Amino acid sequence: MKAQSNNQRTGQIRIIGGQWRGRKLPVLTAEGLRPTTDRVRETLFNWLAGYVNHARCLDLFAGSGALGLEALSRGAEHVSFIEKEPAVYRQLSNNLKTLDATHRSALYQADAFKWLEQQHTTFDIVFIDPPFHHQYAAKALQHLVDASCLAPEARVYLEQEKSAPLPALPGVSLEKEKTAGEVRYMLYHCTSI
């Protein structure tokens, strides 16, 4: 990692599939920011292979934007990115411009829960990768259901610490689950919302 003049340290993410395959993009290091690893993203997008093309996606707690950017690279119609931290938001905005992806995306600097409370849009795929140790994952899933933001047959990817309990909601069933180190990642399928 290298230091920037404003004392923000940067790393990078690599897009692993689709039109931007192999592209490396800078990301800031910030407290709680853990870009989803290449290995986990590869597994996730294998799970989503039949669903991403032309999907409307939401990258909640976007951080580096690795999940939403990967979806755009693989043919998603549109991705909404929600990121609260100003410096991380600015870097993600720059990366969307670098990829010339602003016409297929929307980036909001907002608290994820407050943003969800004001939504009337439905999404085909939602990525939830919040900071760990706050029980945000289950809360975000509940907010999505309460706000009717999930399209029929929507898929919801959820990443949380391995020790956290699995979220369970009526009409949302666990389809796939794996662990990598201290991370548990899951794919949920909305069946009757």
- pLDDT tens-digit map of 15-64: 999 999 999 999 887 665 667 888 899 999 999 999 999 999 999 999 99
* C-alpha to C-alpha distance for 94 and 48, rounded to whole angstroms: 27
Identify whether 60 is part of a domain: yes
Identify whether 16 is part of a domain: no
Strands 172-180 and 183-190: antiparallel
Identify whether 6 is part of a domain: no
Residue type (1 letter), 128: I
Please report the pLDDT score of residue 134 as a whole number: 80
How far CA 74 is from CA of 32, 56, 115, in Å, comes to 27, 12, 26
Q: Are 10 and 29 in contact (CB under 8 A)?
A: yes
Please report the pLDDT score of residue 100 as a whole number: 96
Strands (E) in 62-134, as ranges, are 78-83, 105-109, 123-128
Identify whether 4 is part of a domain: no
DSSP string spanning 31-71?
TT--PPPHHHHHHHHHHTTTT-TT-EEEEET-TT-HHHHHH
Identify whether 53 is part of a domain: yes
Residue 99: name the closest of 62, 63, 134, 73 by CA.
Answer: 73
| pLDDT (mean) for 1-12 | 54
* C-alpha to C-alpha distance for 68 and 71, rounded to whole angstroms: 5
Q: Could you tell me the CATH number of the domain that includes residue 83?
A: 3.40.50.150
Identify whether 93 is part of a domain: yes
Enumerate the β-bridge partners of residue 123. Answer: 150
pLDDT digits (tens, 9 = 90+) for 86-144: 999 999 999 999 999 999 999 999 999 999 989 889 999 999 998 887 888 888 888 88
* C-alpha to C-alpha distance for 70 and 48, rounded to whole angstroms: 11
Residue with tokens 């997008």: 45
Number of domains in the chain: 1
* C-alpha to C-alpha distance for 45 and 30, rounded to whole angstroms: 25
* C-alpha to C-alpha distance for 171 and 103, rounded to whole angstroms: 33
Identify whether 22 is part of a domain: no
Strand order in the sheet with 9-14: 2-3, 9-14, 24-28
Domain containing 131: what range?
A: 32-190
Q: Which two tokens stand for residue 150?
A: 């999930």
Identify whether 52 is part of a domain: yes
Q: Is 136 helix (H, G, I), strand (E, B) or coil?
A: helix
